């Protein structure tokens, strides 16, 4: 009887250990799968924006360029750009609840005074939330505008480098945020201690999230 009870005790302990390991691994596995899904969605969005950029460059008229250059405010320029993008992304004005906020990866909220704060949001036909912002360029070589994409819509985490990514729109090309940065800065920013902005480019070139 003693050996049988000891065997049952060992068996129970083994089961509890296995269950404990599963419970420890499961959240990490789920989070990794979710992050992989977000990155996959982001890659689809970026590929689409490269195509949109090519189409716009091919079909944009001289009048549209003239209207954009003559616009006196950033708001007017944003509206012109939005009208250019609308047929390809089927953008509609988004009336988001007050609790919808964007965070950096280091858990700091993106404040209204931050460069990466977007005042206006739009819904794309894929359910992605899109932010658009004129950057008031001074030279032709500088960006025309920047865009933010929350690939998870209003659902959390609403965080740069997790479900929020961005592009920089130039006259001649479109790049992911971080593409112009030194390579050693990418993993530093794409980490719990960084803002997560450069994850936009880092993930496109095969980079992995730094725990």
Q: What is the pLDDT of residues 127-166, one digit of tens each?
A: 899 999 988 776 767 888 899 999 999 999 999 999 999 9
Instruction: Report how far apart the first and last C-alpha atoms of the chain are (Å, whole number).
Output: 50
Q: What is the DSSP string of 188-202?
A: HHSSTTS-STTHHHH
Work out whether strand 174-176 and strand 164-169 pair parallel, antiparallel, or are unpaired. Answer: antiparallel
Q: Which two tokens stand for residue 112?
A: 């209204």
**Rounded-to-integer distance, Cα 59 and Cα 49, Å:** 15
Residue 205 has phi, psi (to 5 degrees) of -100, 15
Burial class of 89 by CB neighbour count within 10 A (0 to 12, 13 to 18, 19+): buried
When pLDDT is cut at 50, 70 and 90, the band that residue 111 belongs to is very high
Structural contact between residues 167 and 146, judged by C-beta atoms closer than 8 angstroms: yes
Is 80 exceeded by the pLDDT of residue 167? yes
| SS3 state at 30 | helix
Q: What is the pLDDT of residue 180?
A: 93
Is 90 exceeded by the pLDDT of residue 14? no
Q: What is the pLDDT of residue 158?
A: 96
**Rounded-to-integer distance, Cα 130 and Cα 120, Å:** 9
Structure-model confidence comparison of residues 96 and 184, the more confident one: 184
CB atoms inside a 10 Å sphere around CB 105: 24
Structural contact between residues 101 and 110, judged by C-beta atoms closer than 8 angstroms: yes
**Rounded-to-integer distance, Cα 29 and Cα 23, Å:** 10
Mean pLDDT of 92-114: 91
Nearest residue to 41 via CA among 181, 188, 203, 183: 203
Angle at CA of residue 15, ends 11 and 19, nearest 5°: 170
pTM of structure: 0.81
| SS3 state at 167 | strand
């Amino acid at each position: 009887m003693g050996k049988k009870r000891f065997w049952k005790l060992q068996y129970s302990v083994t089961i509890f250990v296995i269950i404990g390991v599963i419970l420890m691994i499961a959240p990490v596995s789920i989070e990794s799968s979710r992050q992989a899904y977000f990155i996959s969605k982001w890659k689809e969005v970026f590929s689409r924006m490269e195509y949109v950029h090519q189409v716009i460059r091919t079909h944009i008229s001289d009048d549209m360029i003239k209207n954009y250059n003559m616009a006196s405010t950033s708001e007017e320029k944003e509206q012109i750009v939005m009208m250019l993008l609308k047929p390809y992304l089927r953008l509609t004005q988004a009336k988001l609840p007050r609790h919808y906020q964007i965070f950096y990866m280091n858990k700091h909220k993106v404040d209204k005074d931050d460069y990466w704060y977007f005042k206006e949001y739009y819904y794309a036909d894929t359910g992605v939330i899109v932010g658009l912002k004129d950057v008031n360029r001074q030279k032709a070589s500088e960006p025309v505008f920047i865009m933010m994409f929350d690939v998870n819509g209003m659902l959390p985490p609403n965080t740069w480098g997790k479900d929020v990514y961005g592009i920089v729109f130039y006259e001649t090309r479109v790049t992911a945020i971080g593409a112009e940065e030194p390579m050693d800065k990418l993993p530093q920013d794409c980490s719990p201690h960084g803002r997560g902005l450069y994850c936009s480019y880092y993930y496109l070139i095969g980079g992995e999230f730094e725990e």
